[in-house]
Structure 1
Amino acid sequence: MTGKVPDDLLRVSDLAPQTLVELLDLAVGMKQEPLGWERDLRGGAIGCVFEKPSTRTRVSLAVAAHRLGMAAIVLNRGELQLGHGESVGDTVRVLSSYLDAITVRTFDHAVVEQMADAASVPVINALSNTHHPCQSLADLLTLREHFGTLAGMTAAFIGDGTSNTCNSFLAACAASGMHLTIAAPPGYETDEDILEEARSLMAQTGGSVSLTTEPIEAVGAAQAVYAEVWVPMDKGHEREERTERLAAYRVDDALLAHAPREAVAMHCLPATRGQEITSEVLDGPRSLVWRQAQNRLPTAQAVLHTFITTARRCTA
C-alpha cells in the first residue's frame, strides 16, 4: 500500500483519499479470493470489545479474522474487568500484549479515543455514537461496484443528520469527491465542525455537501438515496419525538419517484420497515442494501489486514 496508513481507524477522515482507494481495491481482491491472504497473519488474534448489540459488525469481523488465519475473541464489557472498575487504559494495555488489533463498538466516541491512546496495537472503531467508519467503507465499495466510479457521484442522506452513519458517509463522500445532500428536519442538522472538515477536504477532491429540510429536493439529482433508522439504540427515550419529527423523511416509492431513474436505495441496517424505509424499497429492484451488508465482510478483512500488517512492519 502506497498511501499512508494511520495507527488507528477511529473515523473515516483518518484515511487519506489515496489510502481509502487502496483499501477498497484490496477489498475487491479479497471478495474475489477470500482465502488468498490466510497465511499472512496466521496465528494472530483480534479482540472485539462490544458494549452494544451487533449482527453485521460482529460476524463480519469474526469471519474476516478467520479468513486471515486469525482468531477473533469477542469481549463484552460485563465479562471484562472494565465492568468492575478497571480503567480503560489498564485494560487496553494488557489486551495489547495479547492481540494484534482491538476493535471496539461502544457508545461514547471518547472511549474509542481513550483506547487508541493507551493501545500499542491498532484500534478499529466498530461503531461509536458519532462515527461508523466500517459501514462507510462497505457503502463506498457497494457504490463503486454498482456505478463503476465514485468521483462526481451524487447522493442524498435522508433523516437524522446527526447520526454516526451520516457523519461517516459524509466523510467518505468527501474523500471520494462525491456530492452529498443531507435532508434533515430542524434540530437534526449535522454538526458544523464535521461539515467544515468535509468541506475542506471536498475543496481538494472536487466533492460538495449541501443541506436542506426537503427530502424531495435532496433526491432530485441523487444517484444514491440513503435511509437510516430513526431511533438508534441509545435514543429509545426519544422514540415518540423522533418518530414524529422524522415522519416526513421516509424513503418510499413516492420519494424515489422524484429521483433519477438510475437511483438506488441504501440503508446500513437494521431497518425498521415502514418507518425510515418501506419493504417495497428495501426488497425492491433499486435496493443495494443487501450488497452493502455483504460488503461489510471484505472491507473488514481489508481493514484488519492493512492495519495489522502495517503495525507489524513498524515494530519489526
Structure 2
Amino acid sequence: MYDGIEYRGFGQSVVEELAKYAGVPVWNGLTTEFHPTQVLADLLTIQEQFGKLKGIKMAYCGDARFNMGNSLMVGCAKMGLDFVACAPKKYFPQTELTETCKALAKQSGGSITQTEDIYAGVADADVIYTDVWVSMGEPAEVWAERIQELTPYQVNAAVMAKAKPGAIFLHCLPSFHDLNTAIGREMGQKFGISAMEVTDDVFESPQSKVFEEAENRMHTIKAVMAATLA
C-alpha cells in the first residue's frame, strides 16, 4: 500500500520501533530528541555558502537540549565542524550524547564545546544558529521561564557582530522574530518584547540564509528518499 513512512512526532523510541517492524523505509521527520532531515539541509546550506564543511565553526544559541541542538551537534561531529552550544548550563545537551559526539569529532577533525558565555561562544563563528525557545508539545506555562532564562542568548546584531564578517545566520523555522504571529503578539503583550530567539533585523539581513536553508530541505529529503527506495 505504501513504499515508505515519514514519522514526525514525539518519542525517538517510537520512530525506532516503527522502523524495526514497518518493513519499508522509515524517515525521521522530527522527534523530541532529534531532527536529522533538517540537519542535512543545514549542512548543504553551509556547503553552498562556504564551499566546505570541515573547519567551519557553528555556534548554536538558546535551548540546546532538544532536537535541533542534539542533531546539529551530531552532524557537526560527524562532518568535522566545530560546534559550540551557547546556553545556560541547564539547557546543555545530555552528557552521554555530548561524550559520544566528542568521540566522533575526534575522528572527523571537528570539536564540541559548551559555554554559558554567548559572546565567547560566537566569537569568530562562521554560522550562528538558533531555534524557538518552546518546543512542539510543551505547555504554554513554560514561556515565562524560557523568556527570562534565554533572552540573554537571543541572536541580535551585537551577537552577529562577534562572528566573522562573512558569517551567516540559520534557523530551522518557523521563528518568532517580530509581532506578526499570534504567539509573537501574545508574548509581546505579556512580556513587553518585540522578538524572541532572533531579532527582526538579523532575520531579514543579508547574512540570513533561512530561506535558502528551507529550500534545501526539499533537495536533501529527495536525496534521502532516492537513496533508501532505490
TM-score, normalised relative to structure 2? 0.90
| Match status 1:252 vs 2:156 | yes
Provide the residue aligned with 2:214 in structure 1.
293
Task: State the secondary structure of the residue aligned to 2:138.
Answer: helix
C-alpha contact (below 8 Å) 1:231/1:243 kept by paired residues = no
2:90 maps to amino acid: G
Rounded to whole Å, the distance in 2 between the matches of 1:108 and 1:238 is 20
Provide the residue aligned with 1:210 in structure 2.
113
Choose which of 219, 223, 226 in structure 2 pairs with 1:302. Answer: 223
Alignment of 1:186-225 (within 5 A): 186-225=89-128
Provide the residue aligned with 2:80 in structure 1.
177
Shift of 1:186: 2.5
Provide the residue aligned with 1:132 in structure 2.
35
Task: State the secondary structure of the residue aligned to 1:135.
Answer: helix
Rounded to whole Å, the distance in 2 between the matches of 1:275 and 1:234 is 18
| Match status 1:147 vs 2:50 | yes
| Match status 1:118 vs 2:21 | yes
- Mean Cα deviation higher: 138-147 or 200-209: 200-209
Provide the residue aligned with 1:280 in structure 2.
201
Choose which of 262, 267, 275 in structure 1 pairs with 2:166. Answer: 262
Provide the residue aligned with 2:4 in structure 1.
101
1:178 maps to amino acid: L
Rounded to whole Å, the distance in 2 between the matches of 1:166 and 1:187 is 13
1:215 maps to amino acid: I
C-alpha contact (below 8 Å) 1:263/1:286 kept by paired residues = yes
C-alpha contact (below 8 Å) 1:183/1:214 kept by paired residues = yes
Shift of 1:241: 0.8
1:304 maps to amino acid: M
Rounded to whole Å, the distance in 2 between the matches of 1:179 and 1:163 is 19
Rounded to whole Å, the distance in 1 between the matches of 2:162 and 2:81 is 20
Shift of 1:143: 0.2
C-alpha contact (below 8 Å) 1:104/1:124 kept by paired residues = yes
Task: State the secondary structure of the residue aligned to 1:136.
Answer: helix
C-alpha contact (below 8 Å) 1:223/1:260 kept by paired residues = yes
Alpha-carbon deviations, 1:107-139, whole Å to 9, x = none?
111111110111111111000000000100000
Rounded to whole Å, the distance in 2 between the matches of 1:196 and 1:308 is 33
Rounded to whole Å, the distance in 2 between the matches of 1:154 and 1:187 is 23
Alpha-carbon deviations, 1:228-264, whole Å to 9, x = none?
1011122233111111110101001111111111111
1:241 maps to amino acid: E
Q: State the identity as a percent.
A: 37
Q: For structure 2, which runs of at least 5 residues remain unmatched after alignment?
A: 178-194
Rounded to whole Å, the distance in 1 between the matches of 2:78 and 2:209 is 21
Shift of 1:172: 0.8
Q: Which has the larger radius of gyration?
A: 1
RMSD of aligned alpha carbons: 0.9
**Alignment length, in residue pairs?**
212
Rounded to whole Å, the distance in 2 between the matches of 1:189 and 1:300 is 28
Alpha-carbon deviations, 1:152-201, whole Å to 9, x = none?
11110001110201111111101110001111113111111111111111
Q: Tell me which stretches of 4 or more aligned residues in structure 1 moved more than 6 Å.
A: none
Rounded to whole Å, the distance in 1 between the matches of 2:56 and 2:227 is 27
Alpha-carbon deviations, 1:278-308, whole Å to 9, x = none?
1111110110111110101000100001011
1:297 maps to amino acid: M
Task: State the secondary structure of the residue aligned to 2:89.
Answer: coil
TM-score, normalised relative to structure 1? 0.66
